[in-house]
């Protein structure tokens, strides 16, 4: 009986660790995508203000590719 209780306790700890790891990874992915979005937005603003139509098209294609 004690062995089963220890196994259950160990499994709960592993589940909590996995859940925490998944949450951390999810937050990192969201932060990375937001960083990409902001950077791309800034680059687009600069390209537009410089009247660089070629670069604007390239950046818009990048945004579409990244689904931003």
CA 24 from chain centre, in angstroms, equals 10
DSSP assignment letter at 51:
T
Residue carrying the six token digits 């294609």: 61
**DSSP run (H or E) holding 43:** helix 2-49
User: What tokens does 14 get?
Assistant: 């592993």
Average pLDDT per 10 consecutive residues for the chain, totaling 68 residues: 59 71 90 96 98 98 93
Burial, 62: exposed, middle or buried (Cβ in 10 Å; 0-12, 13-18, 19+)? middle
User: What does the pLDDT read at residue 19?
Assistant: 77
User: What does the pLDDT read at residue 4?
Assistant: 59
């Amino acid at each position: 009986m004690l062995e089963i209780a220890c196994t259950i306790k160990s499994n709960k700890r592993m589940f909590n660790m996995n859940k925490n790891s998944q949450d951390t990874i999810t937050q990192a992915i969201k932060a990375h995508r937001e960083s990409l979005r902001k950077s791309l937005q800034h680059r687009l603003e600069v390209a537009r203000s410089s009247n660089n139509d070629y670069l604007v098209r390239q950046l818009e294609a990048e945004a579409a590719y990244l689904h931003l």
